[in-house]
Amino acid sequence: MITETAYAKINLALHVRRRRDDGYHELETLFAFVDNGDVLTAQPAEADRFEVVGEFAEVLDNPFGNLVARALSALPRPQGLHVTLEKNLPVAAGLGGGSADAGALFRIVEQVHGLPDNWEERAARLGADVPACVRSEMAIGRGTGTELEPAQNDMAGMAVLLVNPRIPLPTGPVFKAWDGADRGPLPTGKASDIARNGRNDLRQPAIEICPQIADVLERLGQTEPWMAEMSGSGATCFALYESAEHRDRAARVLAEVEPNWWQMVGLLR
């Protein structure tokens, strides 16, 4: 039995530069990963088998369209795998949950059989975030997010609080609502410099569709974090703290005033 965590992905900064001729958007982002998320377990089987359990399992009403099932089909292997996905992350939440799940499956296959030489190409065909999620290491992403560069990670170990108002927010409508203005490139420097001086260009269009995001950010801001921002296209927001104690106090306070919001805590990898 092999167990892998599908680490939640957050965007410490997300700059949308332009819409490309192919319909995708040119992005510059700083990917970071939390040491918590969904959990995959796998064991050898005669044929591939996939099942979903956990809090958000029922949301995945078509498990064969899930990125884990697609990743199983995308990776050649001499033997099947019986994979169980414990779905702890909300769906359509800006955390790259499906991509993180696929990334964890790639790591499982790597342990058992090794990955093909063109694994990055196979990962990119599944989704723009999947190559970054395979390694789940802080990185700068360009293009659609598949062109990865190393980042100077001076933020590993920072305490993270993830909060979602339990409202799914598909990516497509948020990008469609973006005003098309190029507000400049990703800052340079260490990860902390990029995070402090960067922005999320999808925050405002996401708030226009899901106003509760503004409420989440306001609540997080009241906890005096190192920084707070929306992740990806929302609706999940994150706050970073310099100690786990500060984070845990903030989580308790938030749970008291907004008991219906989803929370997860962890540390930056």
CATH code: domain of residue 34 = 3.30.230.10
Tens of pLDDT along the chain (269 residues) come to: 999 999 999 999 999 998 888 878 899 999 999 999 999 999 999 999 999 999 999 888 665 568 999 999 999 999 999 999 999 999 999 999 999 999 999 999 999 999 999 999 999 999 999 999 999 999 999 999 999 999 999 999 999 999 999 999 999 999 999 999 999 999 999 999 999 999 999 999 999 999 999 999 999 999 999 999 999 999 999 999 999 999 999 999 999 999 999 999 999 99
Any catalytic annotation for residue 129? yes
142 and 206 fall within a common domain? no
122: domain range? 2-150
d(CA 181, CA 103): 32
Using CA atoms, how far residue 201 sits from 15, 59, 143, 231, 269, in Å, is 6, 28, 15, 11, 24
**Final residue before a domain boundary, out of 123, 150, 177:** 150
**Final residue before a domain boundary, out of 106, 125, 150:** 150
220 and 130 fall within a common domain? no
16 and 144 fall within a common domain? yes
13 and 145 fall within a common domain? yes
CA 78 to chain CA centroid, nearest Å: 30
When computed from its CA atoms, the radius of gyration of the chain, rounded to whole angstroms, is 18
- Return the H-helix or E-strand segment holding 148: strand 147-150
pLDDT reported for residue 59: 86
- Tokens 């609080």 belong to which residue? 161
Q: Which of 36, 121, 51 is nearest to 81 (CA)?
A: 51
pLDDT reported for residue 62: 67
Phi, psi (rounded to 5 degrees) for 220: -65, -40
Any catalytic annotation for residue 9? yes
User: Per the residue annotation, which of 9, 87, 101, 201 is the catalytic one?
Assistant: 9
pLDDT reported for residue 24: 81
User: Per the residue annotation, which of 38, 101, 129, 201 is the catalytic one?
Assistant: 129
**Final residue before a domain boundary, out of 89, 120, 150:** 150
Using CA atoms, how far residue 26 sits from 100, 131, 211, in Å, is 21, 16, 26
